[in-house]
Structure 1
């Protein structure tokens, strides 16, 4: 009986979307620009990798062909034709370039509203919001109150946060309110508690997520974020693919931050993981446990959080090569009627100015031992992914999107 494995390579975009001009992202191309950088022979000072981008398994599934379909240009070292499976391009209809927007639409529910965002000015957050937050959370105050890179602001204010007991609050171009605090000095439970308070206060502003960002370390030179991140997210406005499969009596394995993104809805098994190796391991574990008609869904966040936002091109390239090297393990575990889809939720071009997501089209790489290879074209909405999985699992069609199977 069929099962579906959906791997979301967070931020692995393949070229600017038709409306990229509205976001200042015309010309962005996360995967393509990484391939070009690798082929240029530029030195990787960290010594992570060398030479052209080596992703033979992704290429065989059609990543090169998908990029050419998306942009009209084939990056160096990639093939213009898939050697197995089906390939295509996903185009987002939801506004913005946020994680929830991309994920919800992938699961069959485009976002029908505008997210709320915080201004670029400093202080960034409404003073009445912060005053109420401090009062309800019983805090001595907050630090930050601005747009910032998470790693940078923790390095700059982490020591003061430990000394004063004040959490670090910051945001980005996305619809998000982030709170960082030391995992032991401040306490993980207290961090989660104050994030819940912040979520209740920011929900009326249509802020998509409040994210708990715990860190450890003794000083600015050793601070490091941990895997105990938690996202407090607004619920999707309609039933997603996850809800529909759960309601049909089937398993839904949510790996990484998937459960948080969907506010826990439709999840029967929640599995956490930190780093690409562990997330991949958890995916393989879920496949061993998954029963007939199960959906296994993993978010591989490191591409975005560790390399895209940090504009770390060699790190991103090495991460893609690592993921590629493990694909044969996953494919070898597929049953004859299992469906594997690799896609992304947005872009985050590490060669692009700034540190934010980029409005890009995404790859749709489809493989099953039961499917012939071919092209599925440029899909007008990410929701086609969710509807294709629903069709494969025998679920009734949803309200958005159309199956390409």
Structure 2
């Protein structure tokens, strides 16, 4: 008897009830990707035809979309899907960011507002930058604005390599990102700078400091690497991971889960530089997961490579690639295992801007013990509560088991 939580990062299924407060009323990541593919409006050089994700459909993704929006996206109709198998949830936490979504999935809604940086140039407080340069022995920083990571690295990468000034930027999330060249600046030095920034930004309640290493030699040839590291604040309360650790359970975390939870209760971690590599790590982790254990995985490509870059064709291809590998996972599950597939927020690639979108998320289950319909849930914490009940752990403070 084991439990798995797979987070398809940013795979939202329709605007949350409070989406208008975020400028996201009408956002619908999965639905808009599916409709764009059917209409042939996705880049024809990258794909042709409708979205094909039969395994997710069989798990109830289309019906979860119906719960969230009142309609099933084109091509996602499925027959004889049990209501015990699918549902949807809207977030209680105020942010539409990665830590808030994951913490709430793990049973801890975020009760406070994160700190954010203004859309000015420069956007970071001068005293923070002065202290960062002094304490991290930097000649200065460049960027200092809201930006797309790939674009600002392409624009300022050559200057950074000449001057050793790291590229600092932010987004609509509560985040301070530092990009530096792995070879000319050094990976460990970048991590050290981020650790200093993490300490300096704690009083501002900034959720994450992210190291964004890259390689390449000139504009147009820079590429971010898989050595990203998030320096996050820890969750304010015990999560399902903490509950498992306290009870001596086996824990496997995949991808950036260990960073998101500030390496608290995250057990053995598997890393990969793509969704495909992360799926391999998930299979390996499942093979070694002891009875009573928890595997918690994040699949990041949907969000980072395609959602933020507003690449509909790429997003569709990523969904299809993930779907194609699900049978491998299903074949390795034991009869009493619980599998939950969900998401942490949306990032509609048809939406304006490059930020996350405030959306409901799917809840897709594979469980022989499931007996009652999941339906529409208020809060993601019901997922953590269900996992705790399945693993026969003490109930979490938040959430109601399905």
TM over 0.5: yes
Which bracket does the TM-score occupy, shorter chain normalised? over 0.9
The answer for the alignment partner of 2:37 in structure 1 is: 38
1:375 counterpart SS class: coil
**How many angstroms apart in 1 are the aligned matches of 2:48 and 2:5?**
30
Equivalent position of 2:235 in the other structure: 236
**Aligned residue pair count:** 401
Equivalences for 1:243-258 in 2 at 5 Å? 243-258=242-257
Cα distance in 2 between the residues matched to 1:82 and 1:373: 16
CA contact (8 A) 1:65 1:82 kept: no
Q: How does 1:314-353 map to 2 (within 5 A)?
A: 314-353=313-352
Q: 1:387 aligns with which of 385, 388, 391?
A: 385
Relative to 1, partners in 2 of residues 1:7 and 1:216: Cα closer, same or farther, differing over 3 Å? same
SS of residue matched to 2:165:
coil
* Structure 1 residues 146 and 89: alpha-carbon distance in aligned structure 2, compared to 1, 3 A threshold: same
Aligned to 1:173: 172
Match of 1:15 in 2: 14
Q: Alignment partner of 1:263: what SS?
A: coil
Q: Where in structure 1 are there 5+ consecutive unaligned residues?
A: none
2:357 is aligned to 358
Aligned mate of 1:50, from 45, 48, 51: 48
Contact 1:64 1:81 in 2 (8 A): no
SS of the residue 2:344 aligns to: coil
Matching of residues 3-402 of structure 1 within 5 Å = 3-42=2-41, 44-47=43-46, 49-79=47-77, 83=81, 86-368=85-367, 370-371=368-369, 375-402=373-400
With over 3 angstroms needed to count, the CA separation of the structure-2 counterparts of 1:54 and 1:72, relative to structure 1, is: same
User: Does the 8 A contact of 2:36 with 2:42 survive in 1?
Assistant: no
CA shift, 1:95, in A, is: 0.5
Contact 2:148–2:171 (8 Å) recurs in 1: yes
Q: Is the 8 A contact 2:338 2:366 kept in 1?
A: yes
- Structure 2 vs 1, CA of residues 306 and 6 (structure 1 numbering), >3 Å: closer, same or farther? same
Tell me how far 1:374 sits from its aligned partner: 6.7
User: Could you list the runs of 5+ residues in structure 2 that have no partner in the other structure?
Assistant: none
RMSD: 1.1
TM-score normalised by the chain length of structure 1:
0.97
Q: CA deviation at 1:83?
A: 3.3
- 1:163 partner SS: helix
* Secondary structure at the counterpart of residue 235 of structure 1: coil
Give, in whole Å, the separation in 2 of the partners of 1:303 and 1:208: 21
Superposed displacement of residue 4, structure 1: 0.5
**Displacement over 4 Å in runs of 4+:** none
**Secondary structure, aligned partner of 1:307:** helix
- The answer to which of 70-79 and 299-308 deviates more is 70-79
For normalisation by structure 2, the TM-score amounts to 0.98
- Cα deviation 1:345-365 (Å, max 9, x = unaligned): 000000000000000000000
Offset from partner CA, 1:91-113 (integer Å, 9 cap, x none): 10000101000000000000011
Q: Is the 8 A contact 1:340 1:367 kept in 2?
A: yes
**1:176/1:82 CA distance change after superposition, 3 Å:** farther
Deviations, residues 18-57 of structure 1 (Å, cap 9, x unaligned)? 100110000000001000001112252442x210100000
SS at match of 2:382: helix
Q: Is the 8 A contact 2:42 2:312 kept in 1?
A: no
Given that residues 215 and 222 in structure 2 are in contact (C-alpha distance below 8 angstroms), is that contact kept between their aligned partners in structure 1? yes
Distance 1:396 1:271 in 2: 27
CA–CA distance in structure 1, aligned partners of residues 400 and 262 of structure 2: 25
Checking the alignment, whether the CA contact within 8 Å between 1:65 and 1:81 is kept in structure 2 is no
* 1:145/1:169 contact within 8 Å kept: yes
Q: SS where residue 358 of structure 1 aligns?
A: coil
Q: What is the CA–CA distance in structure 1 between the aligned matches of 2:387 and 2:325, rounded to whole Å?
A: 23
Please tell me whether the aligned partners of residues 255 and 271 of structure 2 are also in contact (alpha carbons under 8 angstroms).
Answer: yes
Q: CA offsets, 1:152-210, max 9 Å, x none?
A: 00000000000100000000000000000001110000000000000001111000000
1:363-391 alpha-carbon deviations (Å, 9 max, x no partner): 000002x2468731011110000000000
Query: Are the equivalent residues in 2 in contact too, given 1:87–1:374 (CA < 8 A)?
Result: no
Asked if 1 retains the 8 angstrom alpha-carbon contact of 2:31 and 2:73, the reply is yes
